[in-house]
Amino acid sequence: MSADEASQPAVIEDDSNEDKKFSWPPLESNPEVFTNYLQSIGLPQTFSIGEVFGFDEELLAFIPQPVLGIM
């Protein structure tokens, strides 16, 4: 699959309706789900994923330290 194909929505064809319906797959944004998944494929248990609520100093204080990366 090319990068162009991967970025296209899935097309669901319905015989009862001539219009094409688009179905976007749900995206997960739960840090606990990401942590569990990454640990299941080899991320050390000492690492975890955290959520960034904003880049204001007060909001950055909620992020567990040390921070090794940000996406």
Predicted confidence at residue 32, as pLDDT, reads 92
With b meaning 16 or more CB within 10 Å and e meaning fewer, what string describes 29-48?
Answer: eeeeebbeeeeeeeeeeeee
**Phi and psi at residue 2, to the nearest 5°:** -80, 165
Domains of the chain, residue spans:
3-60
pLDDT digits over 15-48, tens only?
Answer: 555 567 878 777 778 899 989 999 999 999 999 9
Predicted confidence at residue 57, as pLDDT, reads 93
pLDDT: is 6 or 63 the higher one? Answer: 63
Given a cut of 60, whether residue 11 has pLDDT beyond it is: no
